Amino acid sequence: MTAGNCHLEVGAVPPRRQRPRESPALVAFGRQMRRLREAKGTKQETIAHLTKVSGAQVSRIESGKKRATRTFVEITDDYLGAGGSLISLWEDLNRDGHPVPLWFDWPKIEMDAATLVCWEHSLIPGLAQTPAYASAILHGNEEAVEARLGRQVILSKGGAGEPVTLVLLIDEQALYRLVGTAETMKDQLEHLICMGMLPNVTVQVVLASGEHDGNMGSFVVATMDDRSEIAYVETAIRAITTDDPSDLSVLARTLIDLRSRTLTQQMSCELMREVVQKKWT
């Protein structure tokens, strides 16, 4: 198969959707922080410098659009002379241990992301699924299939700006696991090879041998335009969306481990072609 055989149609990119409404708890924290900062006559840039984050992130924290880390709060509380009031408020708002604002809506985050790094250990990721493969996974639910395929518009260029940069790390076993029919698998792997030819998409196979942290579950890490990160983690019970630094650190270490077991993009394409010929043709 050559590049000329690839005809990817992911549709036109719709206008970027508005972020969901902010969490009242985050808005309350942000307003209090702004009051203390303005009372001291301190600029957002000063807080950004002290806490080693961008000015945009400070602005998002004050507007209730981003959750502050405890380290950020401790440094800010000390500098503003808040006497521990900001820390106490942060602790009150996080008392239930929930790691992220409840308003996080992954499809909207996915739409706004600059970069997505996706690890999938058992199936082909939704952003790379063909209609037949998605239909087999979703048991023929046409509405669910349409919604899943509709998310793929973020891979194409349009008036909404540059397409997302997508890195797909796929477990080798997913290439051999039958979903639907042999024809479905053949078309799906050929589609993956074609996707790897897009300038904004990298498709790499992670060798199945050996134990690694990636066996615990699939996840996606989204990097936003301001370089902040949000992750979507699948569990046996439910999916979790998190921007908690400790969670992101675990995923970063997992990605380092996974990439040490990953074939190059060219080698990955060659393996997929081999599997198509030997297993699904």
CATH code of residue 89? 1.10.260.40
Task: Kindly state whether residue 10 falls inside one of the protein's structural domains.
Answer: no
Q: What does the radius of gyration of the chain's CA atoms come to, in whole angstroms? A: 22
Position 152 scores a pLDDT of 92
Same domain membership, residue 253 and residue 153: yes
Residues 29-55 have pLDDT tens digits of 899 999 999 999 999 999 999 999 898
Task: Kindly state whether residue 274 falls inside one of the protein's structural domains.
Answer: yes
Terminal alpha carbon distance of the chain: 13
Q: Which one is predicted more confidently, 129 or 97?
A: 129
Segment 218-246 mean pLDDT: 85
- Residue 58's domain comprises 24-93
Domain total of the chain:
2
Domain boundary among 93, 118, 135: 93
Q: Which of 169, 66, 74, 154 is nearest to 115 (CA)?
A: 154
Position 216 scores a pLDDT of 77
Pair 21, 64: CB distance under 8 Å: no
Residue 270 has pLDDT above 50, yes or no: yes
Position 15 scores a pLDDT of 45
Same domain membership, residue 274 and residue 135: yes
Q: Which of 214, 202, 138, 129 is nearest to 171 (CA)?
A: 214
Position 46 scores a pLDDT of 95
**0.75 cut: is pTM over it?**
no
Task: Kindly state whether residue 166 falls inside one of the protein's structural domains.
Answer: yes
Same domain membership, residue 129 and residue 76: no
CATH of the domain at 158: 3.30.870
Mean pLDDT of the chain: 85
CA distance 280 to 89: 58
Same domain membership, residue 162 and residue 82: no
- Ranking 63-67, 71-75, 168-172, 227-231 by mean pLDDT, the lowest is 63-67
Position 159 scores a pLDDT of 45
Q: Count how many Cα atoms sit within 13 Å of the Cα of residue 199 in the half-sphere of its side chain.
A: 4
Same domain membership, residue 259 and residue 197: yes
Please spell the DSSP secondary structure of 30-48, one letter per residue: HHHHHHHHHHHT--HHHHH
Q: How confident is residue 91, by pLDDT bands cut at 50, 70 and 90? A: confident
Amino acid letter, 113: A
